Amino acid sequence: MRQIISVIIGSCWLLASVAGAASSDPYKGDRVQFLKAYKALNENRHGDYIRLSKQLKGYPLYPYLEFWDMRGNLRHVSNEDIAAFIEKYQGDSISARMRQSWLYQLARQGDWKTFLEVYQDNQPITLQCYKLQGQIKTGQTKGLVDDALKLWLIGKSQVKNCDPVFKYLKDHDVITEELLWQRIRLAIHQGNPSLAVYLARGLSAEDRAWVELWRDARNRPVKTLDSKQLKKDVPQAREIILYSVRRIARSNADLAFEKWSQIKPRYQFSAAETGKLEKEMALSASWQRHPRAHEWLVAVPDAAVDAKLREWRIRTAVSIGDWPAVVKHTTELSPDEATREEWRYWRAMALDKTGQRAEALNDFSRLARERDYHGFLAADFMNWPYEMGNQPIEYDPASLKALAGQPGFIRAHELFRAELFIDARREWAWIIRNLSIEDLKLAAVLAEQWDWHDRAILTVARSKDYSDLNLRFPIDYKKEVRKIAQGYQLEPAHVYAVIRQESAFNKDARSPAGALGLMQLMPKTGRVTAKKHNIPLSSTSLLYQPDKNIMIGSAYLKQVMEEYDDNIVLASAAYNAGPHRVKRWLPEDEEKPATRWIAMVPFNETRDYIQRILAYMAIYDWRMEQPATPIKKYMPDILPNEAYKAYEK
């Protein structure tokens, strides 16, 4: 009898487990069938595709099969059937995507009447120009000129299919000499001198000569300043002179100021022109770490002072240790600028350095409550533990269940589970685009429960709620990270910080530059590093595999660390911006406190990167339930480049 009861209990437990598994993944069987149908469609096995897809009409991703099938044969599908598909799935991402594909097809066919009927706003530039072509072809020219000028009046060449539209503007005498000069200026200042010369064909021979000289000034600014054309004080000459001096200042601030001091008295430059150029020269000097940069920034006329100039006045004063100037400059910030944690930190430091200890401690104590790089530095100054302030997102389970049950979220989840990541991200972006703040938080919680960390991180960021550290700082791959980090004598928190900053835990991330996977390795870097450390890598596509990416990424990170004497600050800068840039930024002859060196990194992206890596390391210490290492311990003084292996001769 006991055996029978045991069997019954065991059977009930097994059935409950199976039922639980089924309810947690109710579409598992359909998903397998769906992927078979998807494979058959891609391999042009249409008979197999039809047979398999017939069984999936109730599956949430069946519309995607319809979409892919129809889009792949769009030339052979009637307009009525395409329109019916768009109407059937109106409001879904595949409806918008099908509309876009249809518009391209209609443009290729020259069916402009249907194109204009189907067209909706917010399309890519190519389709915008096709729309204007359609208006020209059908004589529907209302609003055409204004829309076309918006596309024409930019500083770069547009796509080829805009040419007929721009020809229309030219043929109808819309492009005036004044408009030509506007676009030429845009092209020059956006680094497209060849476009400027092309546009100048519509000007007189005399004006074309000015544009050609302006083009030459881009690469030969010093020589251009000696041109005979510039001897006469006319507007074109002044404009090219200002541009040439600005180009010189980009690489040689001393020479720029020398040339400017010689030229300025000979021409009638306006106060605005003078102020703008002197501001830009002073900023260039700052980015070159010129010893007179702060002096030149302070000398810029008040009328030319803006937020960037105020920022670099503080940075250069910090760099040279002019603490009274730091106090003065932080007082000159706008109310919004003054709330920024970075300026609060440097003001507190300057107050302390100038003997205003009580006010400094008061400012540091308030800042130390912030959970970021400068907040942690303030806590280090006070010798206080870090305040993480973790506040998990509160939500109503019924509301979360309702959100998860919406068709768009079901489709996104299924695409994610099917590892069709690009389509999954497109679906996700579509369904969250108009969500309220509260629903964005719910969506982030949902993505986190699905282990879709990058969507959770990016979605909660859109809600501007940064308090749920468990959601924002995942600890996936814990076993691999600990083991690999230990093997390369790296802090696990460092590896996690790089993964979090580089990819937000998106294992199939690919940057515009081609960097791959969790730690964003360039294929060449991956191959070379794998070979050097005897890590098998038969194909760079394997860099998308988390364990392989973490192994090779950690090996590369260790290489970079060794090049900089295990200095995390410099290794982070090199990982982000490249060793050649870091070499230019290092002090020439004396060491520099790391905090002050970081403040002078000229690239916002790299400066933010360094600061985030350090802050994320502290947060990951907390996430791994270990004492947070004060970030100041990772910040030894920065030495001249000869001190580092990376720059040994």
Catalytic residues: 502
Q: What tokens were used for 575? A: 């990982």
The rounded distance, in Å, linking the Cα atoms of 310 and 332 is 8
Only one residue has tokens 């009898």, namely 1
From residue 400, alpha-carbon distances to 53, 348, 391, 397 in Å are: 31, 44, 18, 5
Torsion of CA 397, 398, 399, 402, to 10 degrees: 120
Amino acid identity, position 256: A
The rounded distance, in Å, linking the Cα atoms of 130 and 521 is 38
The rounded distance, in Å, linking the Cα atoms of 123 and 105 is 15
Chain centre to alpha carbon of residue 34:
34
Pairs from 187-196 (Cβ < 8 Å, separation ≥ 24): 187/155, 187/156, 188/155, 188/214, 188/215, 188/218, 188/243, 189/155, 189/243, 190/155, 190/156, 191/218, 192/155, 192/156, 192/157, 193/218, 195/155, 195/156, 195/157
Contact 349, 332 (CB under 8 A): no
The rounded distance, in Å, linking the Cα atoms of 636 and 593 is 7
φ, ψ at 14 (rounded to 5°): -65, -45
Contact 97, 67 (CB under 8 A): yes
Q: What tokens were used for 474? A: 């995942």
Does residue 583 come out as left (phi exceeding 0), alpha (psi in the -120 to 50 range) or beta?
Answer: alpha
Contact 138, 112 (CB under 8 A): yes
Q: What tokens were used for 130? A: 């096709």
